[in-house]
Structure 1
Amino acid sequence: MLPRRLSREIFKELVYVFSLCLGSFLALLLVGRLLKLRELFLSQDVALLDLGQLFLYLSPFFLLLLLPIASMLSVFLTFLRMSTDRELVALRAAGLSLWQLLPVTLLFLLLCTAANIGIGIYGVSWGMDNFRATILDMAKTRTQLVLQPGVFNQDFPGLTIFARQVDRETGDLSTVFVEDTSRGQGAIGIVAPQGSLTTDTRKGQVVFSLRNGRLYRHDRDSASVLGFGEYRIALDLDKIISGVELEEKRPKEMSWTRLMDYRHQADLAQTRDATFDRKVDVETHKRLALPLACLALGIFAMPLAALFEGLKRHFGFLVSLGLFLVYYALFSAGLSLGETGTLAPAIGLWAPNILFMGLGGILFHMAARERGGKLLERFGYILRSLLPQRKRKAA
């Protein structure tokens, strides 16, 4: 049985390295996202608090992928340090095997897995919904600032808008006139006593709604007048806030409940096609496969670090990062093949986890029985044996 104090120390080091890796990767990704949205921040008066809020909403989308790599790196670097500092040798001399170090590592990995499952089921949709709502609220505020009461506004392509009164707080308009030439069917004149600006978060649009008015259409030799209860005009978001494109919700932005509805409710069949169905299936498996990757990659990394005795930390970081890239390449291939229908998502997205879990079990058995040898010495021997051959060939 592993002493409780030793378990705490190992767990504390795992958490410390995990936090350092996760924070660094998340900061890099968010800075990259900031560069993509630079036009938004330059064109809008965005406070630091609003900027932080947007980054908070984007974080779950990135954390779904970052937690597996942070879990793998934390386990690999922690046990690599213990192996390099001969702490594992000392523990073996005291009668403790690698099997007795497994429970505390499993506890850490299971906590990472549980956190990532929560992010996949609840966090991703929560973050993307709030991100879209915040961006649309900015667009709505921008539109309200553009619309001046008693002024004919032509800032929106194909639209000339006049409102006698504009309420900055609610977005309500009164005595509204609109000339709409955006539909390519000639000019349409719209007069309404009331109007408002609303947002449609599902479609990612700012909508100009008119109520209880009349629509005047002129076609060459005829004219027509139609009354309406409500007339809606979707404004071009890119013309309001440059650098932002919000499409209708894609599967990777949907909530877990919505994904299950698309998979099981027959009444949604008319609103989707085969490609969309495949993307829904892929996203469903992805939300579960990535959290389980925390466990698979962590179990793979633990014995590997014990076998790479003597490897320096910065080289260990590169090795573990390279192995994760191998995992991610396999996972991405399964993702692409699943979306195209070439391979079932259940196979393509779960095969990397099964492969790394199986390799981890084999390596753990080797490391626990000290049958793996020092891999670095073997690699060094292979390299030394190849170098003379190359020199002879060059000569």
Structure 2
Amino acid sequence: MTRISRYLLRELLVPLGVWVAFMFLLLFVMQFLRGTDVLLGSSVTVMDLGRLVAYLTPHFLMTALPVAFLLAILLGLGRMGEDRELTALQALGVGPLRLVAAPLGVAVAISALMLLLTSTAQPWGLTGVKLLVSEVIRKNVVGDVKPGTFYEDLSDLTLYAEQVSTENGKWTNVLLHDDRESSSPMLVLAHAGQVGTSSRGEVLRFALENGEVHRSVRESKDYSIIHFDGAEISVGVGASMGKRGRFTSSKEELTPGELLQAAEEARARGENPRMTLMALHSRLGGSLAPIAFALLGTPLAIGRRQAGRAWGYLLTLGGYVLYYLLSRAFEQLGQQGRLPVVLAGQLANVVFMLVGAVALYRVSRTGTLR
């Protein structure tokens, strides 16, 4: 590796590390604020928050790495242009094609890391988040349901227990009002009850004993009462958190192999697997975004006469927003069958690479983008 390459790498890697850390912190705070109703419950421990950070780290890195890398290119090389270091390098015969080698090498390494994360750590982490959140919800329900007090922190559910055992968490004389179906709300009265979760943590289960169910239909005068010796009411974790508190989507929790298997199962059922395959190729396309950013960002940084941090921030924001809009537009076309899913997943990268190639050619010929 030449001294120039090492110098360029240092100019890229230092701001890359700083901006990855900043973006990670920003994303975590934003996600944390979405789930404060759950994560700030009385039963949440520091260990729970540590596990949450560990589970969400791969997911946040998948978002932070491309943005931080584009910003590092524009600020790092832009700083060199502002200090006339690029002019000095060009006077020594170092052309734009040599300058793009270092960012492209870093981009390939980042893309390889992102492919590894999206295939292993990200699905593992998002699955762990679902299990952790369901566990925290269960502990909050157990810890926050106080004797003689209505508990209303679950979406569309109200709980009441006359007595709560501190030893086994069992409730006595339980009232549960379920308003998830607004047209036919349900009132459950039971002599005893307890809350648990499913084996995969996706569902809260309220096990009730010796009670009755009252259900009415608001559009009519129908009213029914059902007596039971034992009953179980299941509540999905996503539903119990409400829309603002959801952390993941189901497809993000699947590995590429599991997505391919889901597509094959959809074909076997006679269904169209396009949605599942589009999710797979969108993730692969996002993993290769740093390469497209390197090919576009480098000529933008070295070919502009205007430099400065404000310009770098603005160009990074605009570039990433444009990339996101293109990705979503092509993804929609792929889901609708107007584009092959393989092409739809990579087309945003192809557009950025082509624009970057044109910009690099203009910089090589004239020294600027003009």
| TM-score computed with the length of structure 1 as normaliser | 0.72
SS in 2 for 1:311: coil
CA deviation vs aligned residue, 1:214-268 (integer Å, no higher than 9, x gap): 998999xxx999998xx64214758976776559952133333321211123587
217 and 240 in structure 1: CA distance in 2 versus 1, 3 angstrom threshold? closer
Aligned equivalent of 2:197: 199
Does structure 1 conserve the Cα–Cα contact (< 8 Å) formed by 2:281 and 2:341? Answer: yes
- Structure 2 counterpart of 1:6, one-letter code: I
Aligned counterparts of 2:226 and 2:68: Cα–Cα separation in 1: 65
Greater Rg over alpha carbons, structure? 1
Aligned counterparts of 1:59 and 1:249: Cα–Cα separation in 2: 16
Aligned counterparts of 1:239 and 1:285: Cα–Cα separation in 2: 29
Q: Give the stretch that moved more between structures: 299-308 or 68-77.
A: 68-77
CA displacement at 1:80 relative to structure 2: 1.9
Aligned equivalent of 1:261: 261
Does structure 2 conserve the Cα–Cα contact (< 8 Å) formed by 1:203 and 1:249? Answer: no
The one of 127, 130, 134 aligned to 2:128: 130
207 and 288 in structure 1: CA distance in 2 versus 1, 3 angstrom threshold? same
SS in 2 for 1:198: strand
Aligned counterparts of 2:90 and 2:210: Cα–Cα separation in 1: 86
Aligned counterparts of 1:41 and 1:217: Cα–Cα separation in 2: 32
162 and 232 in structure 1: CA distance in 2 versus 1, 3 angstrom threshold? farther
Which segments of 5 or more consecutive residues in structure 2 lack a partner in the other structure? 216-224
CA deviation vs aligned residue, 1:323-378 (integer Å, no higher than 9, x gap): 232222111212233344444432333111111112222322333xx423434xx5
Aligned equivalent of 2:234: 234
The one of 306, 326, 329 aligned to 2:325: 329
SS in 1 for 2:196: strand
CA displacement at 1:117 relative to structure 2: 0.9
Aligned counterparts of 1:102 and 1:332: Cα–Cα separation in 2: 28
Aligned equivalent of 1:355: 351
Does structure 1 conserve the Cα–Cα contact (< 8 Å) formed by 2:213 and 2:226? Answer: yes
Aligned equivalent of 2:68: 70
**1:22-61 alignment runs, 5 A limit:** 22-61=20-59
Aligned counterparts of 1:93 and 1:348: Cα–Cα separation in 2: 42
Structure 1 residue 374 corresponds to structure 2 residue 363: no
The one of 75, 86, 89 aligned to 1:88: 86
Aligned equivalent of 1:141: 139
CA displacement at 1:72 relative to structure 2: 1.8
**1:137-216 alignment runs, 5 A limit:** 137-145=135-143, 157=157, 168=168, 197-200=195-198, 204-209=202-207
261 and 209 in structure 1: CA distance in 2 versus 1, 3 angstrom threshold? farther
Aligned equivalent of 2:220: none
Aligned counterparts of 1:129 and 1:291: Cα–Cα separation in 2: 20
The one of 258, 263, 288 aligned to 1:292: 288
Does structure 2 conserve the Cα–Cα contact (< 8 Å) formed by 1:84 and 1:311? Answer: yes
| TM-score computed with the length of structure 2 as normaliser | 0.76
Aligned counterparts of 1:315 and 1:248: Cα–Cα separation in 2: 34
Aligned counterparts of 1:224 and 1:81: Cα–Cα separation in 2: 74
CA deviation vs aligned residue, 1:258-279 (integer Å, no higher than 9, x gap): 2121112358738xx65xx443
SS in 2 for 1:208: strand
Which segments of 5 or more consecutive residues in structure 1 lack a partner in the other structure? 379-395
CA displacement at 1:287 relative to structure 2: 1.4
Aligned counterparts of 2:274 and 2:199: Cα–Cα separation in 1: 24
Identity over the aligned pairs, expressed in percent?
24
Does structure 2 conserve the Cα–Cα contact (< 8 Å) formed by 1:40 and 1:243? Answer: no
CA displacement at 1:285 relative to structure 2: 0.6
Structure 1 residue 304 corresponds to structure 2 residue 323: no
Does structure 1 conserve the Cα–Cα contact (< 8 Å) formed by 2:126 and 2:248? Answer: no
CA deviation vs aligned residue, 1:73-113 (integer Å, no higher than 9, x gap): 22222222222222222223333333333433222111111
CA deviation vs aligned residue, 1:172-221 (integer Å, no higher than 9, x gap): x69x98788869799888899xx8743237573212357xx9998999xx
CA displacement at 1:127 relative to structure 2: 2.0
339 and 94 in structure 1: CA distance in 2 versus 1, 3 angstrom threshold? same
Structure 1 residue 280 corresponds to structure 2 residue 276: yes
Does structure 2 conserve the Cα–Cα contact (< 8 Å) formed by 1:132 and 1:246? Answer: no
